[in-house]
A and B are shown apart, each in its own frame.
Chain A
């Protein structure tokens, strides 16, 4: 964007074609240099398409004059030009200009114009003096009377005619805006530039030139076209009122939907200390936990990184008859790197060579409590095979020993990857899987249960700021619901912590989560920078959830590869971060 602005002549001009006092005032406040008050703007605000401006729905000239007098001219200080139709053969051009002047308009424009009409009916319009020729007369007469003029044209012939008529501004209309569901357009920026430059051939430099419609739907596309063609500015129609207003209203409406869900948050939060949400999936999980927590059956939990597997394990443990003892958490990712077998099962004296002492394995400690194998698929096959025996017999035998030690424990395991993939790849031994999964719980990613976000947000804010009564606004919730949360609950909690700590106002707003948008931009820039120019078209990245590797890599980059801040941002220990860097072979200087 900056490049575009810098490379273009300094005077990018911008105006708006509007139809109500509210949109006129807002466009002026936003920096529009002048306004066109046109019937299409009014019809759009009433819910009809811009193109209905041609239909016999109102007498355009008296209608627009009246709207100008009652809503716009007394509110706006910038020049306002009246959209005048010459299609009615009973309307005299001088009468139209007098109406515009007496109403207080600074000038006139030929809108709706015959220039967009083609076929035999256009010929009849011209033969009957109801078409573009008459529009030229309007511009000529208005110009002579000292009014400002803007002429809509579509090609070079029309542009030259309007220039000869004395138009002070020309606007190349390249069709109705394509994303407004009116007319699909295949025009690219380059094609549009060609159309514009062809239309403006031999047009004197003193005439200000503008473009409207076609593929232009954003300030970026307007700037791109203006920087490549000779037009100096852009006139926004539905792109400044209907499209952004619709989007804004949809978002606000969604926020109200969110609010209606929040009413019961408090009661739901009290139901469970660890599982939050009222989504169908989370309610199913809660039910399963209630039914199985008190039993001794092994449980296997799957879910993407940061989705809340640890919290769910804690919940199950707290509801079991073993809750008085501390849960034993086995980080299998670390075990895979550091002699996990001996760590789990222990060894007899001399097992590691002469003089080595006997070691008690972790499994011998787990009497009357819960043992949690976090990322169990990270264990090598030897360890997995030994665990099968442990699960079958409930006994532990140290390495190099014949004695069996009986233990009584609840076994819960988790994996990040879906089970079918782990079995297919042979990472998890099938026999072990059957023993682990007497109850199988799959936790969905946060972006698959966005309806839970309000509950989670309220809970976490309450946890973060216990001494403050900080709240979150609808727009803030809306911002949270729009983000994809590749790091799931963990990232969500960190984002809320960051927003709470950085903002001391009572209510968190959408703007307090702007760093999420920056994250999205950073991701897309990073992706763009690694795609070679001639690379085949890649599938939409935003459509694909980021993997844990992507998430860690991105967080490392953001924190300039400092492991402390990266681990904090990810909500994991530096030790775990180190293991994951090694596991995924992530570049880290």
Chain B
């Protein structure tokens, strides 16, 4: 079982890391909001970070799929030439709600468009890995042909134990539902911290659905 770490920077290549430089300085709760923090150019920062990185073979990175100014094809080719082989959608619009979600959706910023973007990367030799937070989003990703899903438990809010357990149970239901659609999917569970990961493992020890691994948010650098 793999454990991947979401990091904003890494000097040397490590196949168990997902690189996303725009998250620099953000804690795990803040990183969930990265789609609405105009703190820099997410994709440009990624390319710069990759260019200065040693041993770039088989990199995993997270990209801003909703960048209106990027040329997809050349971006994917550049990523591939820099050693990237797996990409995921982060910062992501998967948490937007209500009227803001509707407004963003009207300009084409929504999870489905992110999944579509990721799928297009396959033609450049990149493997798409989709962050999702609901059953609907998971289904949309699968429909687009994505085989790797990272199920996010939702925003990092202070929850009661009961609510927290309900969230964990819903993750189980989602895993089962997705595997029913396609048993060959690779499913990862995202956790905001190692503590959360341990709580999850403890609750489902011995009866965990067959998942491929976990993604944990890395330390604030």
Interface residues of A (CB under 8 A from B): 39, 43, 46-49, 51-60, 85, 87-91, 112, 116-125, 127-128, 130, 175-176, 181-184
Contacts and interface: CB of A to CB of B under 8 A. Distances in A.
Given A118-B99, A182-B103, A59 B39 contact: yes
A53 B38 contact: yes
A124 B37 CA distance: 12
22 contacts: A43-B68, A51-B103, A51-B104, A51-B109, A56-B37, A58-B38, A59-B39, A59-B40, A59-B41, A85-B37, A87-B37, A87-B38, A87-B39, A119-B101, A121-B32, A121-B155, A124-B32, A124-B33, A128-B29, A128-B33, A182-B107, A183-B99
B32 to A, nearest CB: 7
Contact of B96 (A57, A88, A121, A130): A121
B155 A90 contact: no
Closest 9 CB pairs of A and B: A119-B97, A88-B39, A48-B68, A49-B107, A56-B42, A183-B103, A90-B25, A54-B36, A118-B98
A118 B30 contact: no
B38 A125 contact: no
B155 A130 contact: no
Nearest to A56: B42
Contact of B30 (A122, A123, A130): A130
A175 B100 CA distance: 10
Contacts of A88: 25, 37-39
A51 B66 CA distance: 12
Contacts of B103: 51, 116, 175-176, 182-183
A184 B103 CA distance: 8
Contact of A182 (B68, B69, B101, B106): B106
B37 A120 contact: no
B157 interface: yes
A56 B64 contact: yes
- Which interface residue of B27, B30, B34, B97 has the most chain A CB atoms within 10 A? B30
Nearest to A117: B100
A239 to B, nearest CB: 17
Contact of B69 (A48, A117, A123): A48
B35 A54 contact: yes
Interface in B177-203: none
A119 B96 contact: yes
A161 B104 CA distance: 27
Contacts of B42: 56-57
A122 B100 CA distance: 10
A89 B26 contact: yes
B117 interface: no
A225 B101 CA distance: 27
Which DSSP category, helix, strand, loop or mixed, fits chain A's interface? loop
- Which interface residue of B39, B41, B155 has the most chain A CB atoms within 10 A? B39
Interface residues of B, number: 40
A96 to B, nearest CB: 12
Contact of A125 (B33, B41, B97, B102): B33
A121 B95 CA distance: 7
Contacts of B26: 89
A294 to B, nearest CB: 62
A128 B27 CA distance: 9
Contact of A130 (B37, B41, B106, B107): B37
Contacts of A181: 106
A125 B96 CA distance: 12
B156 interface: yes
A60 B38 contact: yes
B107 A124 contact: no
Contacts of B156: 124
B22 interface: yes
B52 to A, nearest CB: 19
Contacts of A52: 66, 68, 107, 109
A52 B109 CA distance: 9
A337 B84 CA distance: 89
A39 to B, nearest CB: 7
B91 interface: yes
Contacts of B169: none
Nearest to A52: B68
B136 interface: no
A51 B101 CA distance: 11
Contacts of B33: 87, 121, 124-125, 128, 130
Contacts of B69: 46, 48, 57
Contacts of A116: 100, 103
B78 interface: no
Given A49-B107, A118-B98, 19 more contacts: A39-B38, A43-B68, A52-B107, A54-B36, A57-B64, A58-B38, A89-B25, A89-B30, A116-B100, A116-B103, A120-B95, A120-B157, A121-B32, A121-B36, A123-B157, A124-B32, A124-B33, A125-B33, A183-B106
A496 B32 CA distance: 64
A125 to B, nearest CB: 6
Nearest to B103: A183
Nearest to B99: A118
A56 B96 contact: no
A135 to B, nearest CB: 13
Contacts of A112: 38
Given A89-B26, A176-B103, A124 B38 contact: no
A510 B101 CA distance: 44
A49 B25 CA distance: 28
A119 B154 CA distance: 12
B67 interface: yes
A56 B29 contact: no
A186 to B, nearest CB: 12
